[in-house]
């Protein structure tokens, strides 16, 4: 399970839209299964098909989280023309089995946002709970 | 000469489950060579097959990414803080 506030969802979608035509990306800072902060990053891969978090943003975010008693608990990125599901590239490069990997798909008019755990090449979708939006959370739990 | 190496969670199992290590070496290349001698299973996570820095590993000396310094030849001095962070990358491709 990953718990996020509606402002976090909006921040991830806004990052994805701003990055168009490229994939957008960023990091999730928080505690275990709760997002406290979304940190957008430039996509240094500068590509519509791949992404890479800016190494400077990565280091600063780890330090910033540590100072605040938090952790980097995951990452998000967008798929501009495919579903919100990890690709083989995502799986091959998923660095941390304890992380939450959020995918934002802009492929359809209705933006889709999903979260996954990736362990040893196995993809498991997890429940996304949008705090304060019971209706949306319930749809996600289907 | 000793520097401090900060090891991210995901690399700790290959490095004796240490979060922080004191490391020796006058360059990043020397530091990583000694690390892989001590922890042979970490080699695949640190270096590519040709001995270059792993494409998806970020190595920082203090605040600077070594790719913008001298790569493996980046000098390391006493009390420097070296941080390893796997690149966060992927995509729809």
Contact state of B56 with A93 under an 8 Å Cβ cutoff: yes
Which residues make Cβ contacts (< 8 Å) with residue A99, sequence separation at least 6? A72, A73, A74, A75, A117, A118
Q: Residue B65's domain is classified under what CATH number?
A: 3.10.20.30
Q: Does residue B66 lie in a domain region?
A: yes
Q: Which tokens hold the place of B84?
A: 């390893």
> Does residue A132 come out as left (phi exceeding 0), alpha (psi in the -120 to 50 range) or beta?
left
Condensed to tens digits (0 to 9), the pLDDT of residues A67-91 reads 999 999 999 999 999 999 999 888 8
Neighbour-count burial of A60, counting CB atoms closer than 10 A to its CB (0-12 exposed, 13-18 middle, 19+ buried): middle
- Residue B91 — very low, low, confident or very high, per pLDDT cuts 50/70/90? confident
Mean pLDDT over B40-51 rounds to 93
Condensed to tens digits (0 to 9), the pLDDT of residues A7-27 reads 999 999 999 999 999 999 999
- Find the range with the poorest average confidence among A133-137, B14-18, B66-70: A133-137
Report the alpha-carbon angle B60-A8-A1, nearest 5.
Answer: 90
Task: Identify the domain containing residue A71 by its residue range.
Answer: 2-140
Q: Does residue B91 lie in a domain region?
A: no
Measured CA to CA in angstroms, residue B49 lies from A5, A107, B44 at distances of 43, 37, 8
- Residue B92 — very low, low, confident or very high, per pLDDT cuts 50/70/90? confident
pLDDT at A133: 59
Contact state of B90 with A86 under an 8 Å Cβ cutoff: yes
Q: Does residue B21 lie in a domain region?
A: yes
Contact state of B65 with A87 under an 8 Å Cβ cutoff: no
Is-contact A116 A124, C-beta < 8 A? yes
d(CA A59, CA A117): 22
Question: Higher confidence at residue B24 or residue B93?
Answer: B24
Which residues make Cβ contacts (< 8 Å) with residue B64, sequence separation at least 6? none
Q: Does residue B14 lie in a domain region?
A: yes
Q: Does residue B18 lie in a domain region?
A: yes
Contact state of A59 with B90 under an 8 Å Cβ cutoff: no
From chain A, pick out residues whose CB is under 8 angstroms from the CB of B63.
59
From chain A, pick out residues whose CB is under 8 angstroms from the CB of B69.
none
Condensed to tens digits (0 to 9), the pLDDT of residues A86-137 reads 998 888 887 688 999 999 999 988 899 999 999 988 999 999 999 875 544 4
Predicted confidence (pLDDT) at residue B70 exceeds the cutoff of 70: yes
Q: Residue A107's domain is classified under what CATH number?
A: 3.40.140.10
> Does residue A113 come out as left (phi exceeding 0), alpha (psi in the -120 to 50 range) or beta?
beta
Partner residues linked to A120 by β-bridges: none
Query: How many distinct structural domains can be found in chain B?
Result: 1
Predicted confidence (pLDDT) at residue B13 exceeds the cutoff of 50: yes
Chain B, 1-40: which have a CB under 8 Å from a chain A CB? 8-10
């Amino acid at each position: 399970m990953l718990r996020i506030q509606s402002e976090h969802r909006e921040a991830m979608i806004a990052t994805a839209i701003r990055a168009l035509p490229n994939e957008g990306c960023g990091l999730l800072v928080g505690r275990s299964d709760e997002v406290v902060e979304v940190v957008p990053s430039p996509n240094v891969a500068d590509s519509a098909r791949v992404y890479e978090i800016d190494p400077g943003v990565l280091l600063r975010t780890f330090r910033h989280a540590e100072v605040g008693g938090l952790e980097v608990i995951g990452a998000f990125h967008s798929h501009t023309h495919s579903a919100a599901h990890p690709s083989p590239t995502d799986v091959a490069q998923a660095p941390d089995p304890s992380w939450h990997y959020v995918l934002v798909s802009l492929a359809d008019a209705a933006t889709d946002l999903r979260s996954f755990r990736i362990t040893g090449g196995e993809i498991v979708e997890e429940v996304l709970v949008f705090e304060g939006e019971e209706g949306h959370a319930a749809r996600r739990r289907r | 000469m000793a520097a401090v190496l900060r090891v991210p969670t995901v690399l700790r199992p290959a490095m004796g489950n240490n979060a922080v290590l004191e490391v020796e070496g006058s360059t990043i290349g020397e530091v990583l060579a000694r690390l892989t001698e001590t922890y042979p299973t970490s080699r695949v996570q640190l270096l590519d097959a040709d001995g270059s820095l792993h494409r998806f590993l970020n190595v920082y000396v203090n605040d600077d990414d070594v790719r913008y310094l001298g790569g493996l030849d980046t000098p390391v001095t006493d009390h420097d803080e070296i941080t390893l962070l796997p690149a966060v990358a992927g995509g729809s491709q």
